[in-house]
A and B are shown apart, each in its own frame.
Chain A
Amino acid sequence: MVPDSQENIEIEATGLSKHVTSSEGELAILSDFSCRVLGGETVAILGASGSGKSTLLGLLAGLDVPSAGRVIFRSEDLAQLDEDGRAMLRGRHMGFVFQSFQLLPALTALENVLLPLELAGAADADERARAALERVGLTPRLTHYPRQLSGGEQQRVAIARAFAPRPSILFADEPTGNLDAATGQRIIDLLFGLNAESGTTLVLVTHDATLAERCGRRLHLEGGRLKQ
C-alpha cells in the first residue's frame, strides 16, 4: 500500500510481521502492523511487556528486518537496502535514546556525545557536542565517565548524544524505564522540550500511560497486533 500523498511522511509501515522460530514452533511477535508517521509528529507506542513494542521500534528504525511487510523511510524502502545502507540512513536521519542509556563506559560524557558526530564526519563535532551537553545541563560533567554519573545524568548524556547530530526522527525505547519517578519526569520534560525546539519526529516506546499522554498520537499494541 503506497500512501496517496507522500508529502511530509516520515515513516510508513505496511503489513509488518515478525516471526521467530523456537523449539515450540513459530512464534509471532508482531503481526500485520501498519501505520504512518508524519514529520514532526510525536507518537507513543504503548503496550504491556512482550507486546512487541521494542520489536516494532527495531523494525521502524531499520535495526531489524521484518518477516513480512515493509517500512518506507522518507521514500526509501528499508528492505531494498542492505545492512550498511540502513546503517547510513540511521546515521543521517535517526537518533536513539535507550532504556539502559547505552553509553560506552570507556568514553567520557563528551566523547560519548561526540561518537555519532564523528562517525557522521561532522566538521564542528566538538562544538556541537559541547553545546548539546550544555543544553542538557551537563557542562560541568564533560570529562566524567558514565560510572561517575547518576542514572538521570547518564540519560541526559544519551539525550544530548541523540539530539547532537540533529536527526529528523528520534526513537526512544522506554527512556524512563531505569529511572525513579522524579528523575524520569525531568528526563521527559527535557526530551519533549528538545523535541519541540528542533521539530524532530518522535517515536517513543513506553508502557507508561502518563508519558504516552504527552505524545500527539498513541498506538496500542497487544499480542503483537495494533489495537484499534
Chain B
Amino acid sequence: MRGDMTFALKQLRSAWRAGEIRVLLFALVLAVAAMTAVGFFADRIESALGRQGGMLLGGDLVVVSDRLLPEEFTAEARRLGLRVAQTMEFPSMVMLGEEGRLAEIKAVSPTYPLRGRLTIADEPFGDARKADGVPTLGEIWIEPRLAGLLGAQKGDALAVGERQLKVAAILQEEPARGGDMFSIAPRLMMNANDVASTGLIQYGSRVRYRLLLAGEPVALDEFRQWAQGRLERGSRIEDVSGARPEIRSALEKSRQFLGLASMASVILSMVAMSLAGLRYVRRHLDTCALMRCFGASQNRILQVFLVQALLLGLAGSLLGCLFGFAAQEVLARLAGGLFLEKLPAPGWTPAFGGLLAGMAAMLGVMLPHLLRLRGVPALRILRKDLGENAVVSWLAWLPGIAVMLGLVFWSARDAKLGWIVLGGLVALLLVACAVAAGTGYLLRRVAATSGGTWRVGIANLLQRPGVGIAQVAGFSLGLMAMALLTIVRGDLLDNWHASLPPDAPNRFVINIQPNQMESMRQFFVQEQLAPPEIFPMVRGRLVAINDHPLDTGRYVEERARRLAEREWNLSVAETMQKDNRIVAGRWWAASERGQMLISLEEGIATTLDIKLGDRLTYDIGGQRVDLKIQSLRKVEWDSMRANFFAVTPPGVLEKFPASYITSFHLPAGREDVLNRLVRSQPNLTIIDVEAILAQLRGIMDRMTLAVEFVFAFCMLTGIAVLYAALSATQDERIREVAVLRVFGASRRQVRATVLVEFAGIGLLAGLVATIGASLLAWVISDRLLQIPYAFNPGLAILTIGAGLLLVPAAAWLGVRRIVHVSPRQILQSV
C-alpha cells in the first residue's frame, strides 16, 4: 500500500509536470471557490438579514403578550446572556389644553431599542438625528401627525392620564413602526417608569406587552425553546421572519442571482473536470495496461488512481476553500454599506461544506474514468485500439450526477432555480447531441463532394462522434455560460433596477376619507406634483372559507393565524396594477363588473391554504359578503407602490364605508409639502418610506456588484470548460498534424484543416449556446425573477461569432508550435 501511495504520488507529480491535471485542478478549485464564496457570503448575509430584521423589530426576538409577562421570562433571558428591553403599548387620549386626540402610547424601558435606532427632530419633518436613549422621566416624544393634530410643539406639556408630560422631541423613526402602516392612531413615546404615575393602566386595560431580546443565535434558540412551553394564550413569539416584505423580496432576488451564478459555476466546473478527466484517462490507458502487464490487479490500479483523485480532490478543495474565503471577503466589502451594522463574521460551515463538496465532486466526476482505467486490458500493450473507446456502465455516472444535483441545489439555495437550470442543462445537452448528430450527417455529404483540407478537417470532426459530441456540448456550455452572464448582468440587472425608478413612490398617505378625494387631487395640482392614483380600502374580517366558519386554530403557523384573524383591507380595481402578475385564474373582464369575485395575493393564499375557486365570506361592518376567488396574483412588494392582498371588481364594495390610500413620489427638499398636507387635512397619516427605498436601492446597487463578481467565477469556469474541451483531443490533433506534415502538408494546409474542424465545432456550439442561453435567461427571468425578458439579437450574433472565431483560433494556438517541430519528434512525444 505504501508502494501504491508512492507510485500514485509520483504519477501525480509527473502528470502535473506534463500539464495533464492542471485543468482538472483548476476547475475543481473554481467550483469549490464559487460554492464556498457564495456559501460564506450567504451565511453572513443571512445573519445580517436577521439583524436587519431585528432592527425592524427592535430586537432579535420578541415575546408579545396581552398580560404582563412573568418575571421568570426576563430572568431566563438574562441567565442566557441575552440583552433585554420591555415595552408597553396601549391607546389613550392625550390632551393639549382643550384639544384631545387618541394616541398609540408606547412606554419603553431605558435599554430600548436593542436593534435599530430611534430618530428624533425638533420640529415635524425637521432634521432628524439619532436619539441618545429613550425619553427621560417626565418627557415624551410624539409623532409629527400627533403634533399636527394637536398643534403641539417641542416644549409643550401634554396631559397623559394623570400626568403632564413635556414634549421633548418629534419622533421621526422607530423600529417596527413602518411595519404596521395602517395603525390608526399616531404614536406617543414615553419612559416606562412614568406609566404607573399616569394611572392609565388599570385592570382590564388593553395593553400589549413586549419583551425584546437580542444576543447570540444559540442563546436565542435556547430561550425560544424554553419559552415555547410557558406561553399562555394571548402570548406569542415574533422573530424576523415577518420582517418587511420589500426588503426580503429584494434580498431574495439577490440571493437567487448569487445562487444562479454559483450554481452555473458548479455545473460548468464539473463539466470542465469531466472533460479534463477524459484526457487524463486517455493519457493513462497505457500506464494501466503496463501495470496490468507487470502484475497489478484491477483493484490495485483503481487504488492507485483513487489515491490520486483523493489527493487531487483534497488539494483542489483546500485551495478552493482558501480562494472562496478570500473571495467572500471581497463580496462582503462590495456589499459593505448595505447593512446598518457590520456583517457578522462568517461561520465555518461553508468551509467544511466546500471541502466535502470538492471531494465528492472529484470522486463523482472521476469515478467513470477510474472504472475505465480499472478495466483496461493488459493486451492493450500489444493492441493499441483496446480500451480506447471502452464504455463504462451508465451506473458509473450516477454518483457524479447525484453529486452535481446535490451541489446544484446546495449552491442554488432554491429548489425552483435548481430545477430550472438543470432542466435547461439537460435540454441543452440534448440539443447539442441532436445538432452534432444531424450536422455529422450533413458533413458526411459535404465531405464526399469536397477535397483537400476540407475533407481532412471534416473527417477529423466525424471520426470520433462521441468525443465530438462531448466537445460540442462542452464548448456550448462554456459559451452559454458567458452569454447567460452577459444577458443576466445586462438585461436582467437593468430590469431589476428599472423596477424601482428614481421617481418610485416614497410616501404613503392613508386614512383619506371619501369626501377628501377631490381636495387631495387639488392639493397635488397646487403643489405641482403629479396627482397620484388613489385606491379605496374597505376593512373586513374573513369569517368563512367555502361556507365553513374560519377556524384559526387549524393553522399551525403563528403568522397564518395572525393573518387570518386580523382585519383585511379589501380594495377595488378595474384593471390589474402593473407590478402584479396573474399566477392562476384570470383577471376580470369589464363585463364582470359587480360580480362577487375576488383576486388574492398568492402568498397569503398559500399561507392560509386557500385555492383558486374557493369562496371567501367576509364580515364587512356586520354584513356578510361572499366572494369567489377568480385569480391569484404575484405582487412585487419591492416596487413600493400601494398593493393589496385582496382586490374585487368595481361594483362590489361601493356600498360599504371606505377609506382611501395613495402613494406618491416626493422630490428631495420638498418636505414642506407634508406639513401643509397634514395642516390642511389633519386626519391623514403620512408614512415615510424613503429610508426603506434608499435601503432597497442600496441592496440593488451593492448586490449587483456582488453578483457580477460571482459571475466572474462563471466566466473563469466557462473558459475552463472551453479549454478542457479543447484539450480533450489535443494529443490526437497533434498526431494528425504531424502525419499531415509527414505527407508534405504545408503550414497553410495544416492550419486550414484545424480551422475547418474547429470552426465547425465552434459554429455548432455557438448556435446551441445561443439557443440555450436565451431560453434559460427567459425562463429564469420570467418564471423565477419575474422580470420581463427581451431577446437580444446582437448577443446571439456575438455568441455564434465567438464560437465560430474563438474556438478555431484557440485550437490553432494549441497546435501552432507543432508546425515548427519535426514530425518525427512529435510522433515520438505523443
Contact = CB atoms under 8 A, between A and B. Distances in A.
Given A118-B6, A119-B291, A63 B298 contact: no
B824 to A, nearest CB: 10
Interface in A151-210: 165, 173
Contacts of B18: 105-106
B7 interface: yes
A120 interface: yes
Contacts of A125: 3
Given A106-B14, A107-B10, A111-B10, A63 B295 contact: no
A10 interface: no
A87 B289 CA distance: 11
Nearest to A116: B294
Interface centre among B3, B6, B11, B829 (most CB of A within 10 A): B3
Interface centre among A84, A86, A87, A121 (most CB of B within 10 A): A87
Contact of B291 (A63, A98, A115): A115
Contacts of B295: 87-92, 116, 119-120
Contacts of B7: 115, 118-119
Contacts of B292: 87
Nearest to A112: B290
A118 B3 contact: yes
Contact of B293 (A54, A63, A105, A147): A63
A83 interface: yes
A86 to B, nearest CB: 8
Interface string B819-830: 000000000110
Contacts of A58: 379, 382-383
Given A118-B6, A119-B3, A87 B290 contact: no
B603 to A, nearest CB: 60
Interface centre among B292, B295, B381 (most CB of A within 10 A): B295
A54 B379 CA distance: 10
A64 interface: yes
A7 to B, nearest CB: 26
Contacts of B607: none
A104 interface: yes
B286 A63 contact: no
Interface residues of A, number: 33
A96 B296 contact: no
A102 interface: yes
B298 A102 contact: no
Contacts of B569: none
Contacts of B296: 87, 91, 119
B15 interface: yes
A114 B706 CA distance: 52
A10 B475 CA distance: 55
A88 B15 contact: no
Nearest to B293: A96
A27 to B, nearest CB: 14
A102 B379 contact: no
A23 B304 CA distance: 38
B563 to A, nearest CB: 67
B17 interface: yes
A78 to B, nearest CB: 12
Contact of B286 (A102, A111, A165): A102
A131 interface: no
Nearest to B17: A106
Contacts of A89: 295
Given A87-B295, A92-B295, A57 B17 contact: no
Nearest to B11: A106
Contact of A57 (B6, B294, B382): B382
Contacts of B6: 118
Contacts of B294: 90-91, 96, 115-116, 119-120, 165
B299 interface: yes
A91 B377 CA distance: 15
Interface string B156-189: 0000000000000000000000000000000000
B483 interface: no
Contact of A84 (B17, B298, B381): B298
A92 B246 CA distance: 74
A125 B6 CA distance: 13
Contacts of A62: 378
Interface centre among A62, A106, A118 (most CB of B within 10 A): A106
Contacts of A165: 294
Contacts of A107: 10-11, 14
A121 B382 contact: no
Contacts of A115: 7, 290-291, 294
Nearest to B296: A119
Nearest to A98: B381
Nearest to B299: A84
Contacts of B3: 118-119, 121, 125
B287 interface: yes
B575 interface: no
Contacts of A120: 294-295
Nearest to B304: A119
Contacts of A63: 293, 377-379, 381-382
Contacts of A106: 11, 14-15, 17-18, 287
Contacts of B680: none
B298 to A, nearest CB: 6
Nearest to B7: A118
A104 B286 contact: yes
B293 A104 contact: no
Nearest to B825: A147
Contact of B378 (A90, A92, A119): A90
Given A104-B286, A107-B10, A121-B3, A90 B382 contact: no
A116 B287 CA distance: 12
Nearest to A54: B382
A86 B293 CA distance: 9
A108 to B, nearest CB: 9
Interface in B278-313: 286-287, 290-300
A84 B295 CA distance: 8
Contact of A87 (B286, B297, B383): B297
Nearest to A90: B295
A58 B378 CA distance: 9
22 contacts: A54-B382, A58-B382, A58-B383, A63-B382, A84-B299, A86-B378, A87-B295, A87-B298, A88-B295, A90-B378, A91-B294, A96-B294, A98-B382, A102-B290, A102-B381, A105-B829, A106-B14, A107-B11, A111-B10, A118-B7, A119-B294, A147-B829
Interface of A: 54, 57-58, 62-64, 83-84, 86-92, 96, 98, 102, 104-107, 111, 115-116, 118-121, 125, 147, 165, 173
Given A58-B379, A98-B381, A106-B287, 20 more contacts: A63-B378, A63-B381, A86-B378, A87-B296, A87-B378, A88-B295, A90-B294, A91-B294, A102-B381, A104-B287, A106-B11, A107-B14, A115-B7, A118-B3, A118-B7, A119-B3, A119-B7, A119-B291, A119-B294, A147-B829
